[in-house]
Amino acid sequence: MCEICRQTPCHNRCPYAPEPQIAYRCWQCGNEIYEGEDLYIINDEMWCEECVAECRTTAEIDGLNYDYD
C-alpha cells in the first residue's frame, strides 16, 4: 500500500503512480491515446475524442428529396 495515497495500486493522481502507457495514436492528429482513455474505431482507424468531436455535426433536412430505400 502506498504511504501517500493509501491505495494499491496508486491512485492516478498520486505522485508515485506510474506513467500511463500509450495504447494507440490517433489516426487524425497523431496524439497519444493512453490506456484507459476512450477512443473511437472508425474504419479500423483509432480516433481520439477531440478529433471525433471536431467532426461532429447535426443532420438537417435541406429540402432535397433523397430516396434511401
Mean pLDDT for the chain?
A: 87
Res 19: pLDDT: 85
Q: What is the pTM of this model?
A: 0.61
Alpha carbon distance 16, 23 (integer Å): 21
Nearest by Cα to 26 from 12, 15, 37: 37
Per DSSP, what are the bridge partners of residue 46? Answer: 41
Write down the domain spans for the chain: 22-55
Res 68: pLDDT: 62
